[in-house]
Structure 1
Amino acid sequence: MAPCALLQRIVIATLFMVGVLAGTSAFARTISYATGYPPNSIGSDSALAYADALKELSGGDLSVKVFPMSLLSFSEASPGIRDGMADSGFVLFSYFPSEFPNTNLIAELTMLLELDDVAPSHAGLAYVGAMSEYLFHHCPECVEEFAAQNQVFTGASASAPYMMLCNEEVTSLADIKGKRLRSAGPQWARWAQAVGGTPVTISVSDAYEALNQGVLDCSISSSVDLDIFRLSEVVSDVTAGVPGGVFGGTGVNNFNQKVWQDLSEAQREQVLRASATFGAIISWDYQVGATRELEAAPKQEIKVHEPAEDLQQASHRFIVEDMKTIARNYQSRSGVDNAEQSIKAFQPILSKWVKLVKDVSSPEELAEIYWRETYSKVNVSEYGL
């Protein structure tokens, strides 16, 4: 072969390989995902399931490296994602009230579930759908809040219903008077005061010692905390059904905006579909764990009670009135001028989702409903850009 012809073939082959490698680097990408959950927890295990789902959906073009309780803590998540320390991660909105006022307003409405005909086992599942739909499609102010933090919201998650985990029987208004109750958020603190208790703000990780030493009488928590935080060792009585509500203020997979924009439209759609799976699995597993712990409580010599009628009625009255309080608070403290309208807009969406998830019997079925009803309707050619 002539030297010129050989050289020409070498150049062509080299250019071909460069093109292949360039194409690979343009499409194959590893996304870092940070969560404050520890390894082998519901939070980290569901993140690994999300990673598997995204890899499969993208045909291997997108993979996820999960960093549980290492790269970013819960308190570091939002600024860490904003600054590119992680490509994506789990954000608890309540940790960042000034950054996400419109979003936190909706996250504070979870006790509305008690006014709907929803089974406790499906309350959190309904809230995930309603929260996601509202933030994706009905709250441009929320989308702007995320953009201001260089983030894109891609889905929600929620806990199982909150109840009273106590070191003595507390089922009536007379019982609860003066009791010190750990509150997991401002709405539950207001509830505690409204029914005669005293709200105490401490983290759930400190609830064990506080209950054990008598600093607390009850923790307002999900029953899954009997296991996760070993509260079964210091709790003697559980009162289910009050105060109710779930913890629903989470961005299960918030993305750094630059990373999101660098993805192709097909990849953004794949992320959304995998995020629907993520939100379904973590919320389903929380509910399964909560149900299991409640059923196992009698075997651990923990009595499970229903609330007395006077406490139920007082709780119901509080929830109705508290919607007005929430609107006033967010308008006066956070400058959310349309707070009352936002609450009214969210209520029918929540009621719709209570019906949508009513008969769901698996996380796979739940993920499909999330995708079909709201995630798939996000316009990936415009959203987050």
Structure 2
Amino acid sequence: MKFPRCFTLLATAAALSVAMTAQAREYSVSTVLSDAFPWGQAAQKWADLVKERSEGRITLRVYPNAQLVAGDQTKEFSAMRSGLIDMAVGSTINWSPQVPELNLFSVPFLMKDNADLDAITQGEAGKLAFAAIEKRGIMPLAWGENGFRELSNSVKPLRAPADLAGLKIRVVGSPLFQDTFTALGANPTQMSWSDAKPALTTGAVDGQENPISVFDVARVDQVGQKYLTLWHYMADPLIFAVNQRVWKGLPEADRELLSQAALDAGKWEIELSRGQQAQRLADIRSRGVEVVELSDAERSAFVEATQSVKQSWAPKIGPQLMKAAEDAIAKP
């Protein structure tokens, strides 16, 4: 039986619609911070670019505040590796328990500024760090940025290692952070960020360290943090990444789309984050926070006080990676 041409066209269109629907995919994306922060905005930008460039065929659903791991950000990498999370925009700090090489970025005073950070992430050291992540079942696609971490407290201006003696400082759950603040004479106290603000409010801890964006958006000045020292002691790059099983199951064209969108979102977020620093500091000062900017001599005293930490952690990070990072920084 021969059907009219109009019916044939309608059948073809219906078949195409079914095929398009069958190809539609939704993936989970984990982040620790919401889109009130540049970190969360990076994940949302990635999702927006992917949706636009795939014409709605691929959806990245962002789950902020580490909600896919019940708030325990240090479990994010393991959850993604096991397949409980499809993708993430994650922190080198939070992933370092599973990828020791990522402790490179937490080595105290390894990097002085953004130029040093870029030299590492965009060079041989960055490739080695990505290779270490891929080796453990995750496909890294691009770099983002949570920023250099600065030090605040409720007691006094901090200009020298001796000023930290006995201060209780909230740190993330990394042994390297414990070692760094112990070397400086402080009393490092590990706790989640959700527990940190109440502890700062009650005085259970005296201070904390975080990027300027977190200090500003989270209004850490409202929980007694009256003194902020800009010491740039370490940076926290972000990584756009995908579970390898998900990655391998994607057509090559979709891999290219996801990867390029991650690169573009990462570049956008880094520029956004750095471009906001001056205004954020001005706003923080206007709220009555005393901001301390270290001289070269003052910073050198902190560098010297933490040399033993760098030496003890270098073998755990890997000689090849450490050398690549130091060589990148040393280049004119």
TM-score under structure 1 normalisation? 0.70
Distance 1:135 1:16, change over 3 A: farther
Distance 1:189 1:323 in 2: 13
Which consecutive unaligned segments of at least 5 residues does structure 2 have? none
The equivalent of 1:221 in structure 2 is: 210
- Aligned residue identity for 1:209: P
Verify the 8 A CA contact 1:54 1:270 in the aligned structure 2: yes
Greater share of strand residues, 1 or 2? 2
The answer to whether the 8 A contact 1:260-1:268 is kept is yes
| Structure 1 residue 206 displacement after superposition | 3.2
TM-align CA RMSD: 3.5
Matching residue of 2:121: 129
Asked if the contact 2:184–2:306 (Cα under 8 Å) also holds between the matched residues in 1, the reply is no
Matched, 1:345 2:324: yes
Deviation at 1:198, TM superposition (A): 2.6
Query: Quick one: which amino acid aligns to residue 57 of structure 1?
Result: R
Output the amino acid matched with 2:185.
G
State the alpha-carbon separation in 1 of the partners of residues 185 and 254 from structure 2. 52
Which string of whole-angstrom CA distances, capped at 9 and with x for unpartnered residues, describes residues 70-90 of structure 1? 444434533433343442123
1:20, distance to aligned residue in structure 2 (A): 2.5
> Could you tell me how far 1:294 is from its partner in structure 2?
1.8
Structure 1 residues without counterparts, runs of 5 or longer:
331-335, 356-385
Query: 1:111 matched to which residue of 2?
Result: 109
Deviation at 1:113, TM superposition (A): 1.0
CA deviations over 1:165-187 (Å, ceiling 9, x no partner)? 12122223443333222334444
* 1:46 aligned to which of 22, 42, 45: 42
- What letter matches 1:264 in structure 2? P
Residue type of the partner of 2:198? E
In the alignment, structure 1 residue 207 sits paired with structure 2 residue 203: no
Structure 2 counterparts to residues 188-199 of structure 1, below 5 A: 188-199=177-188
- Name the residue aligned to 2:168: 180
- The answer to whether the aligner puts 1:62 opposite 2:58 as a matched pair is yes
Alignment partner, residue 133 of structure 2: 142
After superposition, the Cα gap between the structure-2 partners of 1:210 and 1:286, relative to the gap in structure 1 and judged at 3 Å, is farther
Aligned match of 1:246: 235
Distance 1:86 1:284 in 2: 27
Query: Are the structure 2 counterparts of residues 129 and 229 from structure 1 closer, same or farther at C-alpha, using a change threshold of 3 Å?
Result: same
Q: Which residue of 1 aligns with 2:313?
A: 326
Letter in 1 for 2:63: F
Structure 2 counterpart of 1:295, from 259, 262, 282? 282
| Structure 1 residues 350 and 290: alpha-carbon distance in aligned structure 2, compared to 1, 3 A threshold | same
Residue 33 of structure 1 is matched in structure 2 by 29
User: 1:380 aligns to what?
Assistant: none
Q: 2:254 matched to which residue of 1?
A: 267
Shift of 1:32: 3.0
> Which amino acid is the alignment partner of residue 126 of structure 1?
D
Matched, 1:5 2:2: yes
Pair 229,5 (structure 1): closer, same or farther in 2 beyond 3 Å: closer
Alpha-carbon distance in 1 for matches of 2:198, 2:129: 42
- Once the two structures are aligned, what percentage of the paired residues are identical? 19
Deviation at 1:95, TM superposition (A): 3.9
> Aligned pair in 2 of structure 1 residues 61, 134: CA closer, same or farther (>3 Å)?
farther
The answer on whether the counterparts of 1:173 and 1:196 sit within 8 Å (CA) in structure 2 is yes
The code of the aligned residue for 1:313 comes to S
CA contact (8 A) 1:34 1:89 kept: yes
Question: What amino acid maps onto 2:99 in structure 1?
Answer: F
Residue matched to 1:237: 227
